[in-house]
């Protein structure tokens, strides 16, 4: 993956692969994104139990996954504001060979083109792909519909932070 530095309305955004040295900051951003994303879908008690340190531990070694895994971080002023990843499908009934695992972006950086840049860094143009999004995530489906996906009607309920979260599948 190439490193992309671009300006979005005078905003300097660097899109680059996630590195092991990012683990601590990734854990902090990941925890904040989960608070912002899942507030109202998961109890406050479950969200308060999210540990940036535990999430940081999950990011250690992430960059060493095989070439079939694509990952990127978005940085503004040297700080990580979002991240994305895709890789081999994890579901037995996958509608495509590859899965978009996540595109997460801090709320204050939404609607600035950064999510699109992250998506483009981990997905080839027109690539057959699928992924999952929380059923009640406001505005989330619009992002994927604009990228040629359809909500295919498949739902699943998954354990998340000791509770359950219903997700819907999008695919193209």
Cα distance between residue 123 and residue 131, in whole Å: 12
Model confidence at 66, pLDDT cuts 50, 70, 90, reads confident
- 46 contacts 34 by C-beta, under 8 angstroms: no
- 94 contacts 130 by C-beta, under 8 angstroms: yes
Cα distance between residue 130 and residue 74, in whole Å: 22
Mean pLDDT (whole number) for 97-108: 97
Q: Which residue has the tokens 């960059």?
A: 63
Name residue 103's beta-bridge partners. Answer: 84
Q: Rounded to two decimals, what is the model's pTM?
A: 0.89
Element housing 164 (H / E): strand 163-171
Q: According to the CATH classification, is domain 4-125 in 3.90.230.10?
A: no
Cα distance between residue 121 and residue 1, in whole Å: 7
């Amino acid at each position: 993956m190439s490193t992309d530095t671009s300006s979005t309305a005078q905003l300097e955004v660097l899109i680059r692969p996630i590195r092991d040295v990012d683990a601590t900051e990734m854990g902090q951003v990941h925890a904040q994104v989960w608070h912002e994303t899942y507030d109202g879908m998961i109890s406050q008690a479950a969200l308060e139990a999210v540990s940036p340190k535990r999430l940081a531990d999950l990011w250690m070694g992430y960059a060493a996954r095989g070439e079939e895994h694509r990952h990127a971080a978005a940085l503004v002023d040297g700080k990580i504001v979002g991240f994305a990843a895709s890789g081999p499908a994890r579901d037995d009934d996958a509608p495509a060979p590859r899965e978009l695992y996540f595109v997460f972006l801090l709320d204050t950086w939404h609607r600035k083109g950064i999510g699109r840049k992250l998506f483009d860094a981990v997905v080839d143009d027109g690539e057959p792909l699928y992924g999952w999004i929380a059923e009640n995530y406001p505005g989330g489906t619009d992002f994927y519909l604009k990228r040629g996906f359809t909500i295919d009607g498949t739902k699943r309920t998954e354990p998340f932070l000791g509770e359950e979260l219903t997700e819907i599948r999008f695919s193209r």
